[in-house]
Amino acid sequence: MAKQLTVNPNRMELSRLKKRLVVAKRGHKLLKDKQDALIKEFLKRAREVKDMRERAEEELLACYRNFLLARAQTLPVMLEQALLISGSVCTLTRTQRNVMSVLIPEYTVHQEGNVFNYGLATSTGSLDVALERFSRLIPKLITLAAEEKALQLMAKEIERTRRRVNALEHVLIPSFVETIRFITMKLDEQERANLSRLMRIKEIVRSH
């Protein structure tokens, strides 16, 4: 049963509560619509992120295979020297996009320089392939990370919205309805009591 609010049972309070009830119902509908839209967008993105992750894991596995092959074909000292100094620089530009009040991070990747910062005569072709694949994979991994972060933020917003919807639906709105019913009942009782007193007064007046 909804908890009744502690108020003075008068017509002014009744009018104020009815206005608050209208606002609460409108807010509940807006939040419910927002929650439904967020869930729909979340499920759509989740499917896309799942496909992205599967493709990224396949490419990452291929990169590691090439790197393991290069390590097997190259002396450890030569491999360490080849990878000691990077010739490529990766910079990120971060922006945000508002999706239904959720700030979604977006990253733009800029890669400069040459990943092959070593003598090609002393390295194997498998190392070249591995580094080239890693270089192509980095923007995809960053995009995947941003999308997964977006899913986390959307999940938190869905949970917050769900709590607000439940609070309005199961606590606030029922409390308003119950209090309005109580005040209406009290006012009706007062009106009946006043009517009884008036009738009694009329009877007394007539008897005299």
CATH number of 151's domain: 1.10.287.3240
Look at residue 109 in the predicted model and tell me its pLDDT. 82
Establish if 1 belongs to a structural domain.
no
Distance CA 32, CA 29 (A): 5
Establish if 6 belongs to a structural domain.
no
How does strand 88-99 pair with strand 102-113? antiparallel
Low-confidence ranges of the chain (pLDDT < 50): none
Establish if 3 belongs to a structural domain.
no
> Tokens in use for 169?
């639906």
Establish if 5 belongs to a structural domain.
no
Look at residue 127 in the predicted model and tell me its pLDDT. 73
Establish if 23 belongs to a structural domain.
yes
Which of left, alpha, beta for 98 (phi over 0: left; psi -120 to 50: alpha)? beta
The range of the structural domain enclosing residue 75 comes to 11-201
Q: Rounded to two decimals, what is the model's pTM?
A: 0.75
Question: Domains in the chain: how many in total?
Answer: 1
Look at residue 11 in the predicted model and tell me its pLDDT. 87
Look at residue 116 in the predicted model and tell me its pLDDT. 63
Look at residue 153 in the predicted model and tell me its pLDDT. 93
